[in-house]
Amino acid sequence: MTATTDGSTGATLPPRAAAASDTTSTVPEATGVQEAAARATRRATEFLLARQDAEGWWKGDLETNVTMDAEDLLLRQFLGILDEDTVRAAALFIRGEQREDGTWATFYGGPGELSATVEAYVALRLAGDPPDAPHMAKAAAWVRARGGIAATRVFTRIWLALFGWWKWEDLPELPPELIWFPTWMPLNIYDFGCWARQTIVPLTVVSAKRPVRPAPFPLDELHTDPADPNPARPLAPAATWDGAFQRIDKALHAFRRVAPRKVRRAAMNAAARWIIERQENDGCWGGIQPPAVYSVIALYLLGYDLEHPVMRAGLESLDRFAVWREDGARMIEACQSPVWDTCLATIALADAGVPADHPQLVKAADWMLGEQVVRPGDWSVKRPGLPPGGWAFEFHNDNYPDIDDTAEVVLALRRVRHHDPERVEKAIGRGVRWNLGMQSKNGAWGAFDVDNTSPFPNRLPFCDFGEVIDPPSADVTAHVVEMLAAEGLAHDPRTRRGIQWLLAEQEADGSWFGRWGVNYVYGTGSVVPALVAAGLPAAHPAIRRAVAWLESVQNDDGGWGEDLRSYRYVREWSGRGASTASQTAWALMALLAAGERESRAVERGIAWLAATQREDGSWDEPYFTGTGFPWDFSINYHLYRQVFPLTALGRYVHGEPAVLTRHTAGRTRAEAKAG
């Protein structure tokens, strides 16, 4: 077989899978595969156990792209706190991520991205790199060839406007009066996904204030025409949604000139109260870097000095997003994932044969129990009567527990034999009740909110980057269904509605779209185990179509992979990409759940995992297999390469875990608590 080229990106597509009857394959016989799997499982188990923190949690680095690092430097420059050590370390990391063509990508092996390249370039100018240096000149030429600064996304131009490199009046207007919109009104802040909501509220203050700090240097070299750096953008036809919202934006610009000062001041103060009320105990906002950055700027513009407790805690929280590498480089994480990593590590170790009462699993369960969120957050705006009980993704994020983490934590806790079973049962009961209460109208589940499906936020001229709403997804819904089945609720009407939604969402080729992981391999790897756990037989047509699709996209080397381009170029890239440990594991988890343990595809996949494992029990995975926003923002979870291969190997060696195969007759304790 020969590789082909995707003309839209110039990237090489991997060859299609070898046929199952291919007699030239060098895959070992089944007995050899079983021995190799057992050995790989032991080594991976030892590796993962050795990396547990003394407090009981696991956390891998969460790698995204250099815009996090560039914006961190720009924030410090804006606040006047940029120091030489930080600049040097950040610049070292940013330079190391530059591609041969002078650009920066948003994921490993991806194409150059305009906004990321502009932000990285500006950060290196702050670090002292001269514009005539070869690596800088190459980047600038590429930027100009693609429209210059004027073609970048809104968020990039906001950062540039802070220093006068772009005009505020040429940015979409974002009025702070938005904070007063009632929940029944379109475009109220709760119409936005929680991550967008936390970013937009502080940005309304920044947009109203329009601050400009003296630029330390010009950026003429990044404009296609320095004499006309802010060219007017064409209006879409008025009869279209885009055209309508562009005209609304023009009206908001006009309103800015006549808005009563007292009203605007009151709106900004209301936004400030909203921001401060949502600051977490560790000083951050929502456990993610972008809202924290904009919240610090907004409060600073409203008169909060850097020594104010709120500001000091916020800045200290941002420092905790820094990962210092051995070479002296400094990488900024967009977020940290200890709860997610810990529950997945617990599941992997238990499924790999670690005893349920192993001290490290008990310690992990203790830590997870202590992380349960027991107070209302923004989710309660839509569910005011629902008692809390979820888990968040991060160390501190009580305002935004998420449905996905909650489902997986319950599945993890069920695998541990804890010394205080009553405490575990109460925690699981709260989690199950909360997840059931967060079901959307269509029977499925989103990540953070209920029925967060308004079509309007995505239409705003301001929202030209990433997802800003949180509709239900197949992967989150599947994890909830899997958890409910493990709790004896497979036949509960609410679970059945989730199952019916999943069956209706299956793609024509047999796969499922992956919202929070890349992509159809992740979606399919999530849904198939859930459907089987909920009682669908392996012979069900939906399961057979999924199996056939996974077998059809298996790579010649026996692994599976999928490039992030599948979010944009579905037909060419669906299920296509270099084999990775995490994606191979997702495919195997689906095939094993579907009863394909003895199949050629499973043997080849297991053999690939065993053959690519390092001597220390780990796997290498430079590819990004996690998703923040499909295509726009991608994630390399450094622990994915460990927990998912170990889970797949463990299930191959030991069989499907009992927690997913038992079906409890009658009304279970979890059922009774869930009401």
How large a percentage of the chain has pLDDT more than 90?
85
Q: Provide CB contacts within 8 A for 655, sequence distance 6+.
A: none
Report the range of poorest mean pLDDT among 241-250, 299-308, 535-544.
241-250
Q: Are residues 178 and 45 in the same domain?
A: no
Q: Are residues 174 and 71 in the same domain?
A: yes
Looking at the 3D structure of the chain, how many domains does it have? 2
Residues 41, 46, 47, CA angle at the centre, nearest 5°? 100
The span from the CA of 469 to the CA of 458, in Å, is 7
Q: Residue 16: exposed, middle, or buried by beta-carbon count in 10 A (0-12, 13-18, 19+)?
A: middle
The span from the CA of 486 to the CA of 663, in Å, is 8
pLDDT tens digits for range 481-534: 999 999 999 999 999 999 999 999 999 999 999 999 999 999 999 999 999 999
Number of neighbours of residue 275 by Cβ within 10 angstroms: 24
Q: Residue 13: exposed, middle, or buried by beta-carbon count in 10 A (0-12, 13-18, 19+)?
A: middle
Q: Are residues 344 and 312 in the same domain?
A: no
pLDDT at 26: 42
Tokens for 367, please give them: 């830590």
| Helix intervals (H) in 214-260 | 241-258
Q: Is residue 404 flagged as an active site residue?
A: yes
Number of neighbours of residue 507 by Cβ within 10 angstroms: 17
pLDDT band, residue 328 (cuts 50/70/90): very high
Q: Is 457 a domain residue?
A: no
Q: Which of 573, 592, 482 is nearest to 526 (CA)?
A: 482
pLDDT band, residue 296 (cuts 50/70/90): very high
Q: Are residues 95 and 160 in the same domain?
A: yes
Number of neighbours of residue 172 by Cβ within 10 angstroms: 20
pLDDT at 253: 85
First to last CA, the chain: 56
Q: Are residues 480 and 385 in the same domain?
A: yes
Q: Residue 248: exposed, middle, or buried by beta-carbon count in 10 A (0-12, 13-18, 19+)?
A: middle
Distances (CA, A) of 253 to 146, 197, 231, 246: 28, 21, 17, 11
Q: Is the pLDDT of residue 402 over 80?
A: yes
Instruction: Among 278, 307, 332, identify where a domain stops.
Output: 332
pLDDT tens digits for range 21-69: 333 334 446 679 999 999 999 999 999 999 999 999 999 999 999 999 9
pLDDT tens digits for range 551-586: 999 999 999 999 999 999 998 999 999 999 999 999
The span from the CA of 210 to the CA of 272, in Å, is 16
Q: Is 448 a domain residue?
A: no
pLDDT band, residue 251 (cuts 50/70/90): confident
Of 69, 72, 402, 404, the active-site residue reads 404
Q: Is 402 a domain residue?
A: yes
- Domain extent at residue 89: 65-217+225-332
pLDDT at 666: 37
pLDDT at 661: 62
Q: Is 454 a domain residue?
A: no
The span from the CA of 159 to the CA of 165, in Å, is 9
Q: Is the pLDDT of residue 289 over 80?
A: yes
The span from the CA of 393 to the CA of 409, in Å, is 10
pLDDT at 5: 44
Q: Are residues 426 and 297 in the same domain?
A: no
Type of residue at 435: N
483: domain CATH number? 1.50.10.20
Q: Is 132 a domain residue?
A: yes
Phi, psi of 628 (to 5 degrees): -90, -65
Q: Are residues 303 and 368 in the same domain?
A: no
**Contact status, residue 498 vs residue 488, Cβ threshold 8 Å:** no
Over the chain, what is the mean pLDDT?
92
Instruction: Among 315, 332, 349, identify where a domain stops.
Output: 332
11-13/633-637 β-pairing: unpaired
């499925």: which residue's tokens?
Answer: 444
Q: Provide CB contacts within 8 A for 127, sequence distance 6+.
A: 73, 87, 88, 90, 91, 94
Give the per-residue SS3 of 9-64. Answer: CCEEECCCCCCCCCCCCCCCCHHHHHHHHHHHHHHHHHHHHCCCCCCCCCCCCEEC
Q: Is 453 a domain residue?
A: no
Eight-class DSSP state of 381: G
The span from the CA of 277 to the CA of 202, in Å, is 13
Q: Is the pLDDT of residue 1 over 60?
A: no
Q: Is the pLDDT of residue 667 over 70?
A: no
pLDDT at 668: 43
Q: Are residues 283 and 399 in the same domain?
A: no
pLDDT at 664: 38
pLDDT band, residue 7 (cuts 50/70/90): very low
Give the per-residue SS3 of 152-211. Answer: CCHHHHHHHHCCCCCCHHHCCCCCHHHHHCCCCCCCCHHHCCHHHHHHHHHHHHHHHHCC
Tokens for 270, please give them: 């209301």
Report the range of poorest mean pLDDT among 2-11, 215-224, 579-588, 636-645.
2-11
Q: Residue 381: exposed, middle, or buried by beta-carbon count in 10 A (0-12, 13-18, 19+)?
A: middle
pLDDT at 230: 79
The span from the CA of 538 to the CA of 323, in Å, is 44
Type of residue at 4: T
**Contact status, residue 405 vs residue 392, Cβ threshold 8 Å:** yes
Q: Is the pLDDT of residue 11 over 90?
A: no
pLDDT at 432: 98
**Contact status, residue 77 vs residue 649, Cβ threshold 8 Å:** no
Give the per-residue SS3 of 75-92. Answer: HHHHHCCCCHHHHHHHHH
Q: Is the pLDDT of residue 670 over 60?
A: no
pLDDT at 13: 62
Q: Is 243 a domain residue?
A: yes
Instruction: Among 307, 332, 357, identify where a domain stops.
Output: 332
Q: Which of 491, 387, 390 is nearest to 445 (CA)?
A: 390
Q: Which of 255, 107, 39 is nearest to 577 (CA)?
A: 107
Q: Is 524 a domain residue?
A: yes
Type of residue at 410: V
Q: Are residues 325 and 348 in the same domain?
A: no
Q: Are residues 534 and 485 in the same domain?
A: yes
Q: Provide CB contacts within 8 A for 340, sequence distance 6+.
A: 393, 404, 405, 408
Q: Is the pLDDT of residue 547 over 60?
A: yes
Q: Are residues 305 and 356 in the same domain?
A: no
The span from the CA of 250 to the CA of 275, in Å, is 27
Scored b (16 or more CB within 10 A) or e, 336-353 reads bbbbbbbbbbbbbbbbbe
User: Between 581-593 and 520-533, two packed helices, what is the crossing angle to 10 degrees?
Assistant: 30
Number of neighbours of residue 227 by Cβ within 10 angstroms: 6
pLDDT, average across residues 254-269: 93
The span from the CA of 232 to the CA of 253, in Å, is 15
Residue 608 CA, chain-centre distance (Å), reads 27
The residue among 225 and 1 whose pLDDT is bigger is: 225
Q: Are residues 600 and 497 in the same domain?
A: yes
pLDDT at 9: 47
